[in-house]
Chain A
Amino acid sequence: MSSHDIAALEAEARIAGGEVVNDFSMVVATVNGSGSQTSNLAIIRALFRMGLPVSGKNLFPSNIQGLPTWFTIRVSSEGFVARRDTTEILVAMNPATLVEDLQGLASNGVCFYPDDFEPGLLGRSDITYYPMPIQRLVREASPPKELRDYIANMVYVGVVARTLGIELEEIRQALDTHFQGKAKAVAMNMNVVEAAAAWAETNLTKSDPYSVRREKQTEGLILVDGNTAAALGAIYGGVSFAAWYPITPASSLAEALEDYLPRLRTDPETGKATYSIIQAEDELAAIGMAIGAGWAGARAMTSTSGPGISLMAEFSGLAFFAEVPIVIWDIQRMGPSTGLPTRTSQGDIMFIRFLGHGDTRQVMLLPGSPAECFEFGWRGFDLAERLQTPVYILSDLDLGMNLWMSEPFSFPHEPMDRGKILTAEDLERVGSFARYRDVDGDGIPYRTLPGNEHPLSPYFARGTGHSEEAVYSERPDDWENNMERLMRKHVNARELLPMPIVDKVEGAEIGLIGFGTTDPAIQEARQRLSARGISMSYMRIRAVPFADDIGRFIDQHDRVYMIEMNTDGQMRQLLQIEYPDMATRIRSLRRNNGLPLTARWITDNLLAAEEI
């Protein structure tokens, strides 16, 4: 089968009967800072409320105002939410990118454009064009001067809604959600939407095949971004201290904490906070504060992205070696260096795995959906306190900042695990304490918290070599014993971490392996291939160090493809280090262009690699 056939597969359903219902990708091309986000979110929310599986991805520049931005919305009756390579519908609000945007449209695509665009720019003849009298409708709405550009974006909402069949009442509800019930704002925006829809009704003749019709596929689901999910997870995990430094694409995680914590975690009797959030002076201080708080007994976290992780390297080694529980969220963006601050990647895997000089190994969790961001958000604290080590949670820009359909978050079904903490009463009963002694044989020592009044309790935490009693030691056996214990602890951690999700197909020679936000694209690729009689197993890794199931999966297949979004095939390298005997069976499918992976790219490259 050629890759061309696979492309045809995608288009097949679409062309049947001349009408394409609930299956297209739309791009809204605008200029950054023009206030189009409200409009785009209104469309995506309205589609979601109409029961249609939908996903939205904002491809935005590292810029406050003026550079091009594309918001892509995919509607898929089949339930696919990955990004697609092709676009059927273009809302062209940015003349600067018009030519390029038009070229990217599928044949027989649709283009909505402001009627004051230069007609000569609309070069393609296979496209259906719908002009929109934006200036006139804005003038008629006579909004306050400063809101004019912003309101202009509501015109395309009305015209697109009318042309595609998006219900205006759901647009209204979506705006109500967006403006949190502020009636005046909803009314002002809705007036323009309705005027634009009425204009389209009278003046445009529907001549394209695309439309939406109400379904019931989103009942009980929510629409949420991963950073909000992560923050809520942390809150329901009892976060009591968070320090952070602003960085794209992680800032909205800490901002969500700031948003929700005051109403959820204020002591009803005293009105005082049972948490603290500090915007630190840099990422060094952010993690330093979290470590101080974690050492003193708080459920402490920080959130950042790649450049911040670089700054946290030294402290990460300290927390690993002094065995201080903290949770660190890395919302990955494209590196190296400043890289592409507003583009997604999975490029911090190798760096974080061994973050810190010397023999440092870090625990990593790899959420693949908002629901998992929530779950790992609370579970991260349990694991950090149980293992007395930093727990890194690696999300990415796509998951963190874009809206995803999700199951509602499940309230934690397990009581909190505070790990091995000895109280004064415990010490009185036990009669001895050495901070770094492996009492239970699992490599995890006991700790006491500052303020514990028992005379046995105090110890001097340190990043220097230490004896079991936490006293400075240069003795070779102290060093070796401690490092061996840390290794034991790390190996044992595997049983406590989230297990991989395995979908094994009996008799399949090929296994696909993924993690994080490649999941929707891999799922879609598998279905496309399966429809052509090519079956492959699939495993999604959710934590490092690797559980035994991961080696077993590789062993059960003739060859596996590690699919990831970085240039070095970092997860593949980790697998090859872990399973040297099977190293040649672990192949790499990697892409790192700043955009979320598409199913098409996977199928094309898989088939090419397999010479099918």
Chain B
Amino acid sequence: MATTTLNLIGLDKADYKGRPTTLCQGCGHNSISSQIIAACYDLSLDPAKIIKLSGIGCSSKSPAYFLGRSHGFNSLHGRMPSVATGAVIANRNLKAIGVSGDGDTASIGIGQFIHLLRRNVPMVYIVENNGVYGLTKGQFSATADKGQVLKKIGRNPFMPVDVCLEAFVANCGFIARSFAGDPRQVRELIKAALSYEGTAVLDIISPCVTFNNRDESTKSYVWGRGHEEPLHDVTLIPKREEIEVDYAPGEVTEVKMHDGSILMLKKLDRDYDPIDRLAALTLLHQAHVDQLLVTGLIYLNRDQEPLPDVQGMVDTPLGGLQEADLRPSKESLAEIMASFS
């Protein structure tokens, strides 16, 4: 008989699951869903305090397949950022997880994406990036590689949009890239993103097994495994646990997150500091030139105020405000009326 292990708030991992997936067998998105489940379970997050948001597309269906005990909103194509902004402002006590795709974010939704980042709306924003439109059966998206060939469409003549570079330019304070085939890194990055107080962008290359898994595509499994260059071995230590450092000093960079938890980055073949803005830009550029998937936490800036603070919002959810809080007094109206004569 299988034993169930409960986390700190007494929930089983199954409590974080959603409905059975209807995506293709072997789809990278399913793997990401599993890591969202694992991350939330590991961090003992209360599912009632999480909201899931998405746009339209294969990726955007996936919130139905995780966190069944959280409210969710499957919105419009490319418009999840605005819906998320309103929802997060209306209840700043909720942790928002948004799942989008490359079409949803880099094509139809790039405007809202940039403005979400500009406002630093506190949420985890995951792009399940496969460079192709799946639900409409295989057209190029804006992140498709130049020169890539798709059966139905032919050769893509345009340069791809780099989601991480866009996030960088828009002053996003948490930019990470990963690969759906690296579940451990995906999980740790999601955990780190959940501990971040502004918009955390996770560009996860998630190959489409049906429409874009040709070996030469940078969004294929073969390419991903062969060309992945992890920046760090990432581990997030929640604040409630004693931090055990099992790396030798000098090999490990600790980054303190907003909630007090520690993000540990084990440096591999490079001495990389995600706090260094110029280094992050150089890295993204070089990876682009080298056609490499640089994975890990690419850029981190913890000094930006999240939107609810900028707005000077009360802590009470707006939906929880009572009539006495919402409706100013009769006397105040009389005063205003007096000013109109």
Contacts of A285 in B (CB 8 A): 79, 81-82, 85, 111-112, 115
- State how many angstroms separate the Cβ of A51 from the closest Cβ of chain B: 11
Question: Is A195's CB within 8 Å of the partner chain B?
Answer: no
Bound state CA distance, A248 and B197, in angstroms? 36
Contact of B323 among A222, A281, A408, A415 (CB under 8 A): A415
Using an 8 Å CB-CB cutoff, how does the interface string of B230-274 with A read, 1 for contact, 0 for none? 000000000000000000000000000000000000000000000
Using an 8 Å CB-CB cutoff, how does the interface string of B2-20 with A read, 1 for contact, 0 for none? 0000000000000000010
Contact present for A315 and B93 (CB under 8 Å): no
- State how many angstroms separate the Cβ of A46 from the closest Cβ of chain B: 12
Question: Is A462's CB within 8 Å of the partner chain B?
Answer: yes
Bound state CA distance, A240 and B88, in angstroms? 13
Question: Is A238's CB within 8 Å of the partner chain B?
Answer: yes
Contacts of A286 in B (CB 8 A): 82
A238-B326 in contact given A293-B90, A458-B72 (Cβ < 8 Å):
yes
Contacts of A289 in B (CB 8 A): 82-83, 85-86, 89
A residues 440-462 touching B (CB-CB < 8 Å)? 448-455, 457-462
Using an 8 Å CB-CB cutoff, how does the interface string of A151-184 with B read, 1 for contact, 0 for none? 0000000000000000000000000010000000
Contact present for B327 and A241 (CB under 8 Å): no
Contacts of A217 in B (CB 8 A): none
Question: Is B87's CB within 8 Å of the partner chain A?
Answer: yes
Contact of A457 among B71, B83, B85, B317 (CB under 8 A): B71
Contacts of A461 in B (CB 8 A): 71-74
Using an 8 Å CB-CB cutoff, how does the interface string of A216-257 with B read, 1 for contact, 0 for none? 000001111000000010011110110100000000000000
Contacts of B317 in A (CB 8 A): 296-297, 449, 451
Contact present for A296 and B86 (CB under 8 Å): yes
Question: Is A593's CB within 8 Å of the partner chain B?
Answer: no
Contact present for A455 and B79 (CB under 8 Å): no
Question: Is B156's CB within 8 Å of the partner chain A?
Answer: no
Contact of B312 among A273, A408, A448 (CB under 8 A): A273
Nearest chain B residue, comparing its CB with the CB of A403: B340
A residues 250-272 touching B (CB-CB < 8 Å)? 260, 264-265, 267, 270-272
Contact of A298 among B48, B49, B90 (CB under 8 A): B90
Contact present for B318 and A274 (CB under 8 Å): yes
Question: Is B339's CB within 8 Å of the partner chain A?
Answer: yes
Contact present for B94 and A451 (CB under 8 Å): yes
Contacts of A287 in B (CB 8 A): 82
Contact of B48 among A236, A272, A290, A458 (CB under 8 A): A458
Contact present for B83 and A450 (CB under 8 Å): no
Contacts of A260 in B (CB 8 A): 336
Name the segment of B26-34, B61-69, B147-155 touching the other chain.
B61-69
Contact present for A459 and B71 (CB under 8 Å): yes
Question: Is A79's CB within 8 Å of the partner chain B?
Answer: no
Nearest chain A residue, comparing its CB with the CB of B333: A411
Question: Is B313's CB within 8 Å of the partner chain A?
Answer: yes
Bound state CA distance, A302 and B46, in angstroms? 32
Bound state CA distance, A298 and B94, in angstroms? 14
Contacts of B83 in A (CB 8 A): 288-289, 291-292, 295
- State how many angstroms separate the Cβ of A83 from the closest Cβ of chain B: 22
Contact of B49 among A237, A412, A451, A459 (CB under 8 A): A451
Question: Is B84's CB within 8 Å of the partner chain A?
Answer: yes
A300-B323 in contact given A224-B340, A462-B74 (Cβ < 8 Å):
no
Bound state CA distance, A15 and B71, in angstroms? 71
Bound state CA distance, A272 and B94, in angstroms? 18
Contact present for B90 and A238 (CB under 8 Å): no
Question: Is A53's CB within 8 Å of the partner chain B?
Answer: no
Bound state CA distance, A267 and B325, in angstroms? 8
- State how many angstroms separate the Cβ of B136 from the closest Cβ of chain A: 15
Contacts of B321 in A (CB 8 A): 238, 240, 274
Contact of A450 among B79, B87, B313, B327 (CB under 8 A): B87
Question: Is B75's CB within 8 Å of the partner chain A?
Answer: yes
Contacts of B336 in A (CB 8 A): 232, 260
- State how many angstroms separate the Cβ of A412 from the closest Cβ of chain B: 7
A290-B69 in contact given A264-B328, A318-B75, A464-B74 (Cβ < 8 Å):
no
Bound state CA distance, A271 and B314, in angstroms? 8
Using an 8 Å CB-CB cutoff, how does the interface string of A404-424 with B read, 1 for contact, 0 for none? 000011011001100000000
Bound state CA distance, A265 and B328, in angstroms? 7
Contact of B340 among A223, A238, A318 (CB under 8 A): A223
A458-B311 in contact given A298-B319, A409-B337, A450-B87 (Cβ < 8 Å):
no
Bound state CA distance, A452 and B86, in angstroms? 18
Number of A-B residue pairs with CB-CB distance less than 8 Å in the complex they form: 225
Contact present for A291 and B86 (CB under 8 Å): yes
Query: What's the tally of chain A residues with a CB closer than 8 Å to chain B?
Result: 75
- State how many angstroms separate the Cβ of B249 from the closest Cβ of chain A: 42
Contacts of B320 in A (CB 8 A): 297
Question: Is A487's CB within 8 Å of the partner chain B?
Answer: no
- State how many angstroms separate the Cβ of A336 from the closest Cβ of chain B: 24
Contact present for B89 and A409 (CB under 8 Å): no
Nearest chain A residue, comparing its CB with the CB of B64: A460
Contacts of B115 in A (CB 8 A): 280-281, 285
Question: Is A555's CB within 8 Å of the partner chain B?
Answer: no
- State how many angstroms separate the Cβ of A216 from the closest Cβ of chain B: 14
Contacts of A293 in B (CB 8 A): 86-87, 89-90, 318
Bound state CA distance, A432 and B111, in angstroms? 40
Contacts of B48 in A (CB 8 A): 451-454, 457-458
Question: Is B137's CB within 8 Å of the partner chain A?
Answer: no
- State how many angstroms separate the Cβ of B288 from the closest Cβ of chain A: 27
Contacts of A232 in B (CB 8 A): 333, 336
Contacts of B282 in A (CB 8 A): none
Contact present for A409 and B68 (CB under 8 Å): no
Question: Is B91's CB within 8 Å of the partner chain A?
Answer: yes
Question: Is B70's CB within 8 Å of the partner chain A?
Answer: yes
A460-B74 in contact given A273-B312, A289-B85, A294-B86 (Cβ < 8 Å):
yes
Contact present for B87 and A463 (CB under 8 Å): no
Bound state CA distance, A222 and B62, in angstroms? 55
Contacts of A297 in B (CB 8 A): 90-91, 317-320
Contact present for A240 and B326 (CB under 8 Å): yes
A276-B313 in contact given A293-B86, A451-B94, A459-B71 (Cβ < 8 Å):
yes
Contacts of B49 in A (CB 8 A): 451
Bound state CA distance, A241 and B314, in angstroms? 13
Bound state CA distance, A241 and B19, in angstroms? 32
Nearest chain A residue, comparing its CB with the CB of B83: A292
Question: Is B51's CB within 8 Å of the partner chain A?
Answer: yes
Contact present for A416 and B323 (CB under 8 Å): yes
Contact present for A276 and B311 (CB under 8 Å): yes
Question: Is B332's CB within 8 Å of the partner chain A?
Answer: yes
Question: Is A601's CB within 8 Å of the partner chain B?
Answer: no
Given contacts A322-B73, A471-B64, 15 further A-B contacts (CB under 8 A): A232-B333, A273-B314, A285-B111, A286-B82, A292-B53, A295-B90, A298-B90, A315-B76, A408-B337, A448-B71, A451-B319, A454-B48, A455-B69, A457-B71, A472-B64
Task: Write 22 A-B pairs (CB below 8 A) sorted by A numbering.
Answer: A222-B340, A222-B341, A240-B318, A241-B90, A265-B326, A272-B315, A273-B312, A275-B318, A276-B318, A282-B111, A288-B86, A289-B89, A292-B85, A293-B89, A293-B318, A298-B89, A411-B330, A449-B71, A451-B319, A453-B46, A458-B71, A462-B74
